[in-house]
Structure 1
Amino acid sequence: MDAADAPGQGTVTCAAWIRRPESAHLVVLAKSGKPSSLEIFAFDSKTASLSAAPKARYEFGKGTNPVGIAVHPSGDQFVCSINTGDLKLFEVYGQEDKVKLSAKDEILLQGIVGQKKCLAFSVDGTRFASGGVDGCLRIFEWPSMRNILDEPRAHKSIQDMDFSLDSEFLASTSTDGSARIWKTSDGTPVTTLTRNSDEKIEFCRFSKDGTKPFLFCSVQRGNKPLTVVWDISTWNKIGHKRLLQKPTSIMATSLDGKYLALGSKDGDVCVVEVKKMEVRHLSKRLHLGSNISSLEFCPSERVILTTSNQWGLMATKLAVPADWKEWQIYLLLLGLFLASIVAFYIFFENSDSFWNFPLPAHHPGGGKSIFESDRVPATEPNVWGPVDL
């Protein structure tokens, strides 16, 4: 576990991974205070830790605080929402000790509909969505920012949202416990998820493994926190399980879809293997007594990034089985190939192969050939007859 405390005063708002080649990923951290800032930290994949000091920093003007962050899948850009309701675009250059962070001059979206709490990019990077505390939901084409959906009354107040793996659907949840599904191509509503009168749908994440078309939602049923699964081909509820045992504050899925993570309102985190829906990692009191405000899996390592107002930013290595690396798979295949060659050679040397026949009798090695008969053959006539010269 590693905690990164950046210099300067401020309260941590949220954080997100910035993908980089060869696992040299970065982390962007948003802090509100005097002054408010964005800070970039380097990630060491060998030690699964963050740099002690930020590699780049951007300070906001007076009275401006960052609220949310969404990083484009390319890792070159991210969008930050601020308390005025505006959306600002930032670009990231370089890596490790040569990181540069620059703000684009233009404002992506003016704050005419209130503070935007939720931001998300589609998996393929062609769609961008923003959700406001006033319930307004917007979907845009990226990077043109062509408006696909502008629904001011999508919810009472948007709490969470997520794009499906194929970027076809967007799921959104409300503080009143409802959840809706939208088509990202034209913004039309698909359905409202069914729920019991005593159920409140809070957070949502689509499956990302490419084989199971599911939508996972954290649901509060009375005093029981549940994880409920919907089939996205029919939008029917297919089951539920109690995993975290505590009210959920945040939800996340790994990029390969193998794991689902839940954060609690008092600082616990559990990581679930999706295939069996069983808890594989549990960190109790990771952010002791503090609400976990953001939770995200590392793009390439089994490490999660968490933030809270009280304890700031933490990177935690998960106690789950290690994944096979690409070179390990190739090495295993090579080993199997060589083993098969050795096995074939041993079998050949110890088998009664047709080609391992005994040598003929007149051969220095003695013995009769399998082509020779014990009977002396009769003299055959000369089929050619006399030859005239």
Structure 2
Amino acid sequence: MTDTSSDLQKYGVPFYGAGWAPYNHIKSKLASQEKIEEDKKEEKDPTPSNDDEITTPLNYVVLAGGGGEGRSGIPNAIVVSHVNFTSNSLSDQPVVKHETGSDLPYRMTVHPHGDGIICAFQQSCRLFEWKESEGNEVHKLGVKVSEKVLIQLEDVGQQLALTFNSEGSVLAVGGEDGSLRVFKWPSMKIVLNEAQAHSSVKNLDFSCDGKFLVSLGSGLCRIWDVTSSKVVASLAKGNDEVFAFCRFSQINDKNPHLYIAAVTDYGGSILTYNTTTWKRIRTSRVVREAISAFNVSSDGKFLAVGTVGGDLFIINSANMRVQMMVKKAHLGLVTALTFSPDSRALVSASLDSSARLTLIKDKTSS
């Protein structure tokens, strides 16, 4: 089924990463900080409360990318866009565009409980925090560089994969050099430091219970027990397969799955694994082109695939059939996909500087 219920916006930044902002958690943190500041004033300058202005639930998506180090004139930036589900649209202008100078935010991850955004630059990783923007705008969410320096991730080279567990208590980081580091958050106490987990770490994901971490190289997938820091399984590719992305099914049921998106001689396939035996239980060829982006909805019902040709596919995980398709969703290859927390929408991003909001049709209510 081809979809027409989607909205495309261009923001002038080639995107490499995307994630939803956990607005309720962010709002709570900002309100707590504001109260602390007000208490410090000791009622010297009483002003009317602005609480009513932030009670309306808002939806934001954060995107990161840029033109790199050259003098192309294309900025490197973190972009925040407002999502309007009533009109099914992204804001035509960014809520904020926080430029990062000559440093390209090549990968990013959003803390699930509002602690901020971590971006991977060429040599180091940097934390950005949420803030309320100045003035009386409707869209009040902003971004600032954190005073907290991630010393353990300074001068470590380009990191290609960053992810938090669902609780936001553990951070995993994988490098172009094959290193895998896992930290407690926010203490940054290291719990796993593997110098050669892969020749290069392409993708990482935690299981929904946080017990396992999957790390992916081109030809090998490793499953780590987070508590013991030991490898419990190694999954090898087939003859014509190149592993590209990995995601655990985020359903807390008796049979959670691990999905690996692979590029083959015949297009893109999704490989499904049992998370008890770690045996492959299904191989599903889903697209004719190479897969360039992949994600799983939080309810586990849908898989999203983006291709090098700019097409977008939403796949029903129950039968591995394409439920929705957006041909030429982007002019360039799709680089990032992120589902809304309620699984009703998908934001895709591309090197063509565009972001697209797509509502998922025929979603059965639970």
Is the TM-score greater than 0.5?
yes
Instruction: Note if 1:26 corresponds to 2:60.
Output: yes
Amino acid at match of 1:309: L
Equivalent residue in structure 1 for 2:94, among 46, 54, 70? 54
Q: Residue 87 of structure 2 aligns to a residue in which SS?
A: coil
Q: Residue 139 of structure 2 aligns to a residue in which SS?
A: helix
Q: Distance in 1 between matches of 2:66 and 2:222?
A: 31
Equivalent residue in structure 2 for 1:183, among 225, 231, 235? 225
| Distance change >3 Å, CA 153–CA 276, structure 1 → 2 | same
Unaligned runs of 5+ in 2: 1-5, 25-55, 68-72
**Bigger relative contact order (CA 8 A; separation at least 6):** 2
Equivalent residue in structure 2 for 1:73, among 103, 106, 112? 112
Instruction: Note if 1:43 corresponds to 2:83.
Output: yes
| Distance change >3 Å, CA 202–CA 37, structure 1 → 2 | closer
**1:23–1:45 contact (8 Å) kept in structure 2:** no
| Distance change >3 Å, CA 215–CA 25, structure 1 → 2 | same
Instruction: Note if 1:16 corresponds to 2:14.
Output: no
TM superposition shift of 1:182: 1.0
Amino acid at match of 2:62: V
Q: Residue 106 of structure 1 aligns to a residue in which SS?
A: coil
Partner of 1:266: 309
Q: Residue by residue, what CA displacement relative to the aligned partner does 1:337-361 show, whole Å, maximum 9, x if unpaired?
A: xxxxxxxxxxxxxxxxxxxxxxxxx
Q: Distance in 2 between matches of 1:169 and 1:303?
A: 27
| Distance change >3 Å, CA 118–CA 49, structure 1 → 2 | same
Partner of 2:50: none
| Distance change >3 Å, CA 300–CA 23, structure 1 → 2 | farther
Q: Distance in 1 between matches of 2:15 and 2:149?
A: 23
Partner of 1:298: 340
Q: Distance in 2 between matches of 1:117 and 1:243?
A: 25
Q: Residue by residue, what CA displacement relative to the aligned partner does 1:239-287 show, whole Å, maximum 9, x if unpaired?
A: 1111223221111011111111111111111111112322211111111
Partner of 1:241: 284
- Greater C-alpha radius of gyration: 1
Instruction: Note if 1:64 corresponds to 2:116.
Output: no
Q: Distance in 2 between matches of 1:230 and 1:149?
A: 24
Instruction: Note if 1:324 corresponds to 2:365.
Output: yes
TM superposition shift of 1:41: 1.4
TM superposition shift of 1:201: 2.1
Partner of 2:51: none
**2:84–2:90 contact (8 Å) kept in structure 1:** yes
Equivalent residue in structure 2 for 1:220, among 263, 267, 273? 263
**1:15–1:294 contact (8 Å) kept in structure 2:** yes
Partner of 1:88: 126
Structure 1's consecutive aligned runs of 4 or more residues displaced over 4 angstroms after TM superposition are: none
Amino acid at match of 2:220: S
Q: Distance in 2 between matches of 1:3 and 1:220?
A: 27
Partner of 2:330: 287
Q: Distance in 2 between matches of 1:150 and 1:11?
A: 32
Q: Residue 166 of structure 2 aligns to a residue in which SS?
A: coil
| Distance change >3 Å, CA 220–CA 39, structure 1 → 2 | closer
Partner of 1:347: none
Decide which moves more: 26-35 or 302-311.
26-35
Partner of 1:350: none
Decide which moves more: 240-249 or 261-270.
240-249
Q: Residue 188 of structure 2 aligns to a residue in which SS?
A: coil
TM superposition shift of 1:141: 0.7
Q: Residue by residue, what CA displacement relative to the aligned partner does 1:162-186 show, whole Å, maximum 9, x if unpaired?
A: 11111111111113x2111111223
**1:113–1:136 contact (8 Å) kept in structure 2:** no
Q: Residue by residue, what CA displacement relative to the aligned partner does 1:306-353 show, whole Å, maximum 9, x if unpaired?
A: 1111242221223x214438xxxxxxxxxxxxxxxxxxxxxxxxxxxx
Q: Residue 245 of structure 2 aligns to a residue in which SS?
A: strand
Instruction: Note if 1:231 corresponds to 2:269.
Output: no
TM superposition shift of 1:187: 2.0
Amino acid at match of 1:179: C
Q: Distance in 1 between matches of 2:263 and 2:62?
A: 31
The 5 A counterparts of 1:143-222 are 143-175=186-218, 177-211=219-253, 212-222=255-265
Q: Residue 177 of structure 2 aligns to a residue in which SS?
A: coil
The number of residue pairs the alignment matches comes to 318
Amino acid at match of 2:126: K
Unaligned runs of 5+ in 1: 326-389
Partner of 1:101: 143
**1:261–1:270 contact (8 Å) kept in structure 2:** yes
Partner of 1:358: none
Amino acid at match of 1:16: G
Instruction: Note if 1:3 corresponds to 2:44.
Output: no
Instruction: Note if 1:130 corresponds to 2:169.
Output: no
| Distance change >3 Å, CA 207–CA 10, structure 1 → 2 | closer
Amino acid at match of 1:4: Q
**2:313–2:322 contact (8 Å) kept in structure 1:** yes
Q: Residue by residue, what CA displacement relative to the aligned partner does 1:126-184 show, whole Å, maximum 9, x if unpaired?
A: 11111111111111111111101111211111111111111111111113x21111112
Q: Residue by residue, what CA displacement relative to the aligned partner does 1:294-316 show, whole Å, maximum 9, x if unpaired?
A: 01111125221111112422212
